[in-house]
Amino acid sequence: MSKMATVDPSTTTSSHHHETGSSHTGTEPCCGAVQCKDGKVEPVDIFYAAKLGMLIPCQEFIEHLGTAVLHTCDEKGHTPLHWAALGGHTAVVRYFIDCKAPLDKPSENKLGPRPIHWACVRGHVGIVDLLLQHGVPIDTPDSKGCTPLIIACQYGQTVVAAYLMSKGARLQMLDHEGDNALHWACFKGQAELVRLLIFSGFNPRQRDNYGQTPLHLACINGNLNIVKELVEEDDVEIDLEDKNGKTPLMLAVGRKHHSIESYLTTRLERKRTILGAMPKFDWQTLLFGPPGNSKGALLFFICSVLFWGYPMYIFKVIPYTLQDMQALHLLFFLDNCLMWYFLYQASTTEPGYLPRDTQEYHNSIRQAAHFDGWQAGANPLSRLCHTCRLVKPLRSKHCRVCNRCVDCFDHHCPYIYNCVGFRNRGPFLCFVTSTLTAMWIALYLVWTVLHVKGWDILVLVGFLEMVFFSLIALAVSCMAWYMVAMNVTTNERLNMKRYEYLKDGNGRFYNPFRRSVKDNCMEYFHMRKPLTEGEVEIMNARVNIV
């Protein structure tokens, strides 16, 4: 079995069991599809006008050519409604519906996708809702047997999948190779979607025509979190063979997914122990951490300080500087004590894990079928975490490493072997700052030794190493303190375009949490209460009015 070739977003995925041929780039304009007039781009056909969502040109083409043009296909076999659905152009789709366009006509090509399939590719719930309201069957298949739900799962559109299931999409529908939506979600590495599908009733042990379970396909993809969920949460057997005699472990080995290989090997050894074999002590996991969550960075820091930094300090620095710099050495000692204390606190303090399997989540899922604001762009499912089954508060995020939702998530830091969140962000910032201070003091002391003793190769190497790491620590500390002063998290800074609460009415970045530097710092260290979601909504409303 080999992974399929990359498929462009205008076509549905054919198969993950065999290579597919190269696909056309359906989202690119055709040569000569537009013409320029007085500096303006004007489409020369209704297909390109629908692709761009240009309602007035679409109206002009239909007035000139008649509604029959909506039944025609371009050179790639797609109708104008296909292109409008792909682009999520609700006004154009609604106009085509009023003009009696064929709503469920398949493309005239090998895969035969229908307009609703293309809407699912891009996650346009409003378009899907509009088509279903006007009679498109919710389980209409393409020529490969893929339903809208399967297409949504192929492209990781969790919200569309949740919407379709709430509207009654049949879970048992299979494509022509026996794969259902769960098989595809596992193969595509959509961890959150996998949990939603299993929670909704999909069987995690179901085999396809090739004898492969979702676990087989997750091992092909290489997503360790999905493999863990299937094995630990759903008790999927890890030694099942497909029709080619391949187990999930063998597939992971063949694809060189070493973390999954290590994890499944450990699980198999544990299973043999339960069955009576001699137990094997897993020292590697105990020392270096489980697969996918290595302690390497933390161990590197600890070992560098304990077995390189401190011996250098004791044998190369103290003999030449202690007598003349006793106060500085005392400051260095106290700063190191603080550094280790804050490292312990940041590493062992629970970062702010949110409670799982909440009633609010279940209510939101049940109410999705009765929500009538899809076509207006509203989305009541956007803040759901289907892995933890909760409604995420503002500023929270699901950590892929810890596999938990964290309140006021900043980032996952391998050097503390923990997430940085609401509860441990203070110790983390103090750890970073005290580490930088210790490096600066050590740099000054080593520079003094070089002046007193002369050029010692070990001291010089230590000095250059500290220069390198102190520059990194300086950059991290400055950025951390800057974000504290601005009241923004690392996650928000890197992904600001994803969060609607960080945008004003014109779509520009706006931080509703920012107050004075003093108030921001007090909030960071829990000396002042953060803004509530209601207060944030009021502030955003005021900005949008202005």
The CA-based angle 182-188-193, given to 5 degrees, is 50
Question: Using CA atoms, how far apart are residues 69 and 80, in angstroms rounded to an integer?
Answer: 8
- C-alpha angle 64-68-74 in degrees, rounded to nearest 5: 95
Are the C-beta atoms of residues 368 and 380 closer than 8 Å to each other?
A: yes
Report the distance separating Cα 495 and Cα 475, nearest Å: 20
Query: Cβ contacts of residue 294 below 8 Å, gap of 6+?
Result: 288, 414
Question: Both tokens of residue 192?
Answer: 């959150």
* Spatial separation of the C-alpha atoms in residues 336 and 440, rounded to whole Å: 12
How does 483-503 read in b/e, with b if 16+ C-beta sit within 10 Å? Answer: bbeebbbbbbbeeeeeeebbb
Per-position DSSP letters for 163-175, written without gaps between them: HHHHTT--TT---
441, 445, 447, 452: CA torsion to nearest 10: 160
Tokens 């979600």, located at residue? 185
C-beta of residue 399 within 8 angstroms of C-beta of residue 409: yes
Q: Computed over its alpha carbons, how large is the radius of gyration of the chain?
A: 29
Which residues are marked as active site? Answer: 413
